Structure 1
Amino acid sequence: MSCASDAERVYLCKALSESLHSVEATDDLRFAHYLAAQELFDALVVCVAGGPSQTGLEAALPTLARLPGRPSLVVVLDAASPADCARLLRAGADACFVAPYSVMEITERMRALSRHAPGRAGGSGREVRLDPATRELVEGAQRVGLTRREYLVVECLLREANAPIARDYLIRYAWPEKEGVEPTSLNLVVLRLRRKLGACGMRTSIETVSRYGYQLCTG
């Protein structure tokens, strides 16, 4: 997330975190690009004070649209005309909001965009996905409820299903508000998840990748 002011950043970070999003924030668009190039994000939310024509945002959007994993690009503006929004959408934005805006609408639009992006896995006719409305992991007709931390761990693993994810990356993703989280905390969350998946008879499993991390297996 790149925001125009501290107040906007705190407000949106809090709202998005409460909606079960893992959030990184910066007030520098170039640093936001650097972060998104190093780690996978579902969406970039760019908040702009004033008119977009003075910020260089339109020129930056094509580069952001080519980031690894192709995160959704959501632009939030203090003021803009319909023509301004149209130009930003043509430049690469997936959604454009103008103040006064609704955080609920932004969140729901991000969810809608994620339904058409990588982050689901399927095998043998079974779709494996997360339901953010109920905080459940869904495998075909089966559902299992997750805690907030479990949800974030599965969300991170599901984005690269059937591929190993580094332990350090999982910790940063699932504990964005903390530093110095011990690997044992992640191990305990994974243990609880394995018990839940096994109790529900789900074929989806979490495998340990020796000396590296974990992998969500959906096949």
Structure 2
Amino acid sequence: MRILLVSSSETETVYLHKAFRESAHSVHVADNLRYALYLASHEAFDAIVVSAVGLSLMTALFDALPELARLPRAPSVIVALASGTSQDRARVLRAGADACFVQPYSFLEMQERMLALHRASVARSAQPAVTTPALKLDPLTRDLVEDGKRVLLTKREYLLIECLLRQAKAPVARDQLIRYAWPDKEDVEPASVNLVVSRLRRKLELNGFRVRVETISRFGYQLAS
């Protein structure tokens, strides 16, 4: 999944960024809600996680939540309050959040809620975000699955395949793949992308997968059966 993480706490940002990346998500970071709204209105995200919200940020949060809820690509919005009561959580949900937690919270529970919201969104969509009739990703094991065959992917391979699956019937630009699979890097050499694609091709061939990653000259890559 592609996640936009918004937090004014450096400690919380570092913790959640590391936890989401280790769970094979593509994570982009914004340090304020205005910038997050700008990013989310120009790029597609599956979830927006707003964390470490204290009393000083509540007004900005309630101003931003209706706008986040109206984003055209409809990412799920998850809020983690620094402190709060059940009434505070109810206010956050009424304002437009899809889920609300209060610190200390369980990262596992947050992630499972986020995945559940994503599954519901995919089920409502005419074109599933990360699946084709014969091919899918298993986020729990980080496996690529095709007709019962499974192959374990590295985090970078997983993110690259996930990005390709979002446009399974169309070529994906190399720059788009870099933003998705290397969200933590500002300067990624084309050779790095080529290396990951090469490893993926070997894994798919060795494990008897029908799907393959095709090179689109001077543009990027595309999945093909």
State whether structure 2 residue 90 is matched by structure 1 residue 86.
Answer: yes
The residue that corresponds to 1:173 in the other structure is: 180
Q: Residue 152 of structure 1 aligns to which amino acid in structure 2? A: L
Matches within 5 A, 1:109-120: 109-118=113-122, 119-120=129-130
Matches within 5 A, 1:1-219: 1-51=5-55, 54-118=58-122, 119-123=129-133, 126=134, 128-217=135-224
Between the aligned residues of both structures, percent identity stands at 57
Between the aligned partners of 1:66 and 1:164, the Cα distance in structure 2 is 29
Whether the 8 Å contact between 1:153 and 1:173 is mirrored in structure 2 is yes
Between the aligned partners of 1:20 and 1:28, the Cα distance in structure 2 is 24
Whether the 8 Å contact between 1:58 and 1:88 is mirrored in structure 2 is yes
Between the aligned partners of 2:180 and 2:15, the Cα distance in structure 1 is 20
- Helix, strand or coil: the match of 2:204? helix
**1:11-70: CA deviations, max 9, x gaps?**
211221222222111221111111222222221100243248832323322321233432
Between the aligned partners of 1:53 and 1:178, the Cα distance in structure 2 is 29
Q: Residue 193 of structure 1 aligns to which amino acid in structure 2? A: L
Q: Residue 206 of structure 1 aligns to which amino acid in structure 2? A: V
**1:111-146: CA deviations, max 9, x gaps?**
2222223423233xx3x2211221111123121111
Between the aligned partners of 1:117 and 1:142, the Cα distance in structure 2 is 26
The residue that corresponds to 2:126 in the other structure is: none
**1:66-117: CA deviations, max 9, x gaps?**
3343222111101222233223223332211111111122122222222223
Q: Residue 82 of structure 2 aligns to which amino acid in structure 1? A: D
Q: How many residues align structurally?
A: 215
Between the aligned partners of 1:12 and 1:64, the Cα distance in structure 2 is 20
Whether the 8 Å contact between 2:83 and 2:102 is mirrored in structure 1 is yes
TM-score by length of structure 1 reads 0.87
Between the aligned partners of 2:148 and 2:41, the Cα distance in structure 1 is 36
Whether the 8 Å contact between 1:40 and 1:68 is mirrored in structure 2 is no
TM-score by length of structure 2 reads 0.85
Deviation at 1:185, TM superposition (A): 1.2
Whether the 8 Å contact between 2:142 and 2:158 is mirrored in structure 1 is yes
Unaligned runs of 5+ in 1: none
- Helix, strand or coil: the match of 1:203? coil
Q: Structure 1 pair 98/27, CA: closer, same or farther in 2 (3 Å)?
A: same
Q: Residue 33 of structure 1 aligns to which amino acid in structure 2? A: L
Between the aligned partners of 2:160 and 2:206, the Cα distance in structure 1 is 19
Deviation at 1:202, TM superposition (A): 2.3
Whether the 8 Å contact between 2:79 and 2:100 is mirrored in structure 1 is yes
Runs of 4+ with deviation above 4 angstroms: none
